[in-house]
Structure 1
């Protein structure tokens, strides 16, 4: 099992998860041409994909989905609320995720998780292959008890640390946007992300990727300082990039996940 990012941030998000004979694209916030280009950097073509899985309707996650799905006739999974939140036109194979029920795409078992975010029916996902569990958790304003319970037994985790609270407070955003980003339905700050990681079984969690780091309200040095306390307990911490995402991170039931390329700072909002 392995995963990679085409980009992580307010200008577009997309994550690829591959296991066995199956390959899924989670979100698509880029144009068809840009998605094709970024896939090629990972050694993939759109024909390698089996489905698109969508977290929520915000444009940095959804805007490329309809055209890409139609071009390549891909099944598209999303909650009914996400589907109804935007006019997506006719999709070739719409699969609605009812009541956050788990589903399978080929060899991948996928568990949707309800999260507190200012979208109509947002979901994040845990991807399972055999005994391996990859958790993807971005775009949420707080870690609910439900979220904490669902993500306890992950071998790898892609987690947002969107903003530094002081930088957000002193930054250029209007007050309404500051309230939204820093509120309970917005995005996790560095300290919230750290507390969540500290609540996990760090003996099992081998790989942590920090994503959705704001270019205006955060800094790589601040994130690294915050996570320094847990860095010695984890085998590796990577930082996702808006422009480059991160290259393949491989997971194995026998060995710890390894990164094939070091990722760089995410340029997010």
Structure 2
């Protein structure tokens, strides 16, 4: 592992329907949340952050959909990295061979090295999907994606975070007019699908966002949304300017963002 990092920070390797992965680090621990690209592509994208697979202590997987799972088996075995996942995700991918399997409950916190993880269940059409809040005892990063709607428990979990990676998958009008077949449109907009810009913005008005240092648009659809629409919706919810809201895209992700003491 490279030199220990004094502040908690995170970066996205890519975000969208073609692949998702996020790196979070603090002190001597570095975790990869989801692994939705091929093993070779994961290595290439890590190198953009000046990382190698040897720098990763563990993979933590939110659910089994291919855009979050694609590289898990080969990447974990090639680099001997343990994989943390829910029992439901393990059952959904029972034929995949992993380097080492560690199970976590979406209802119970756990720790990996210097980082604490607070998983929580979300309504999504997967076997046992979870999202995560990651903390170091001082700062908290909320990760909220692949969710059809925000339950009271979801709002409680992401309340008062210092950073939030928030799904803004689609604009309802663009989705309705877009190229997807009707069945897929219903799935995306349904209660087990994905958040729209307006749903994400509404969530922000229902939580304590006063501690937010970083707000990131994630899992934005390339067919049914535009970055400026998502930024405008979230900025309006927080009474701030659109340029304060970062966008993680499919090809480049998002470079390192640090959470600093104020």
Band the TM-score falls in, shorter-chain normalisation: over 0.9
Aligned residues: 254
Match of 1:29 in 2: 36
* DSSP-derived class of the 2:25 partner: strand
Pairwise CA distance, 1:234: 9.4
Match of 1:243 in 2: 251
Pairwise CA distance, 1:122: 0.1
Cα contact 2:24–2:32 (8 A) shared by 1? yes
2:187 paired with 1:177: no
Match of 2:3 in 1: none
Pairwise CA distance, 1:167: 0.9
Cα deviation per residue 1:21-55 (whole Å; 9 max; x = unaligned)?
10000000111111111001101000001000000
* DSSP-derived class of the 2:217 partner: strand
* Structure 1: stretches of 5+ with no match in the other structure: 256-269
Cα contact 1:7–1:14 (8 A) shared by 2? yes
* DSSP-derived class of the 1:120 partner: coil
Q: Provide closer, same or farther for how the CA distance between residues 234 and 132 of structure 1 changes in structure 2, counting only shifts above 3 A.
A: farther
Q: Select 1:53's aligned residue among 50, 60, 81.
A: 60
User: Residues of 1 paired with 2:55 and 2:175: CA distance?
Assistant: 40
Match of 2:5 in 1: none
* Structure 2: stretches of 5+ with no match in the other structure: 1-7
Task: Give the TM-score of the pair, scaled to structure 2.
Answer: 0.93
2:92 paired with 1:85: yes
Pairwise CA distance, 1:203: 1.6
User: Residues of 2 paired with 1:240 and 1:98: CA distance?
Assistant: 28
User: Residues of 1 paired with 2:198 and 2:249: CA distance?
Assistant: 20
2:256 paired with 1:211: no
Q: Provide closer, same or farther for how the CA distance between residues 193 and 210 of structure 1 changes in structure 2, counting only shifts above 3 A.
A: same
Runs of 4+ in 1 over 6 A off after TM superposition: none
Cα contact 2:231–2:245 (8 A) shared by 1? no
* DSSP-derived class of the 1:61 partner: helix
* DSSP-derived class of the 2:245 partner: strand
2:23 paired with 1:16: yes
Pairwise CA distance, 1:221: 2.5
User: Residues of 1 paired with 2:250 and 2:106: CA distance?
Assistant: 31
